[in-house]
Each structure stands twice: as structure tokens, then as C-alpha cells.
Chains A and B, each alone.
Chain A
Amino acid sequence: GAGVSQSPRYKVAKRGQDVALRCDPISGHVSLFWYQQALGQGPEFLTYFQNEAQLDKSGLPSDRFFAERPEGSVSTLKIQRTQQEDSAVYLCASGSQGYYEQYFGPGTRLTVT
């Protein structure tokens, strides 16, 4: 079956622009996670949804970052007024309730110029 998909795969934004990154999880997966991966580093947790409820947003680095999953399937990560330090790969992962495995998408590489 289809895996986790993310779009766009690459995004170049000028500093100060707003961006929206989309994640389509595996059908039926209750859990959805967003991570930020800087160059040469491991992914860092941003936020977690169970269905449409955002249960943990402790990893969001500032109030410029906002995530939503209004119908419990597709999720969007929005970054307002992008800064150069926001340049990274943004990964989405989904999982079944009660299972530990997270299935990752290919990521969106965001470059802020």
C-alpha cells in the first residue's frame, strides 16, 4: 500500500515568507508526528497528533510554527515569517494506535534564503 507522502519535496522561501508543508499519512493511522532534521543531525520532535487532537506540541521552536490535522488524516505544518534557521528537512511520520513503529515520509527540504 501507499506509504507516507509529503509535499512539496523541496521548498525555497525568502526570509519573511510564510510556508505550508503537507503530510498524507498511511490510511487509517491514528498517530501523526512532525520532526525537524537539520543538516548532519538526527530528527528532532516537533509535535504529535492523535486523530485530530494535537496532544503534544512541546517541540515547536517558536510561535511561528503551527500544525493542524482538522479531519484526522492530512496534516499541515505552517511556518510564518520564515527565518534562515528554519532551513531543514521536515519529516512526517504516522503510526497505528498502540504500536511503536513510526513510518516516515521522504521529507520536505526547506531552504530559507
Chain B
Amino acid sequence: GNSVTQMEGPVTLSEEAFLTINCTYTATGYPSLFWYVQYPGEGLQLLLKATKADDKGSNKGFEATYRKETTSFHLEKGSVQVSDSAVYFCALSGAGGGADGLTFGKGTHLIIQP
């Protein structure tokens, strides 16, 4: 079956540091890949997505590239801010057109210190 593995947290960084959160997946076929973010006290929000190999998703300074050869979708940001403190979830969708449920990783709690 499908599965997503992401790095354990919490990850603590200083403001303006470079961020990488690793995510690897196991899936049959050609999944779509997502990063969701959950800010304190709020619901899950889609941060970015990539629907085919070599696609790069980007939003709010975050980027992730769909690497089929390494089955990875690592999240990166060049300079983090305190406001980026949140829990980040890597997820995949196995079917096209959004017609199935997402498989999530366990989440990575990111803490940015001023």
C-alpha cells in the first residue's frame, strides 16, 4: 500500500536559517504529492503540490520537487521566519483527479526562534 515517511521533529531553527524537511514515499503508479501545513490553532492548509515527476511546487517561499528516481518530495525554504512555526505534513494521492483519500506522513513540528 501507499506510505509516506517524513523526518521526525521537532525541528528548531533560528530565523533566516535554511530549512529542509525530508519526505519519501512508497506508492504504486504515479501519485500526486503535497505538503500541508497546520498553524497553531488552525486547520490543515495546502501549502504546495506537484502532480508529476520533476514538477516543482512552490508557495510562500517554500519549494519541493517531485523526484521519482529517489521517491522523494523534500520541502525547502531559503530563509525561515518565526511565522513559519507550524506542523508540516507530507502527503500523497494515489489516483488522478483527486478521487481518493490522501496518505499522510506523521508530521514535522517546526519551531523558528527569533
Contact = CB atoms under 8 A, between A and B. Distances in A.
Interface of A: 4, 31, 33, 35, 40-48, 50, 55-56, 59, 91, 93, 95-107
B104 A43 contact: yes
Contacts of A105: 43
Interface of B: 4, 32, 34, 36, 42-46, 49, 51, 89, 91, 93, 97-107
B104 A42 contact: yes
13 contacts: A4-B43, A31-B98, A33-B101, A42-B106, A43-B44, A48-B101, A91-B44, A96-B98, A97-B97, A99-B98, A102-B98, A104-B45, A107-B43
Nearest to B49: A100
Contacts of B106: 40-42
A98 B89 CA distance: 23
The secondary structure that dominates the B interface is strand
Given A40-B106, A101-B46, A104-B45, A45 B101 contact: yes
Contacts, number: 69
A46 B100 CA distance: 11
Contacts of B105: 42
A50 to B, nearest CB: 7
A83 B2 CA distance: 28
B43 A106 contact: yes
Contact of B99 (A35, A45, A50, A93): A50
Q: Please indicate which of the listed interface residues A55, A59, A93, A105 has the most CB atoms of chain B within 10 Å of its own CB.
A: A93
Contacts of B42: 106
Contacts of A55: 99
A44 B105 CA distance: 9
B51 A100 contact: yes
A96 B97 CA distance: 9
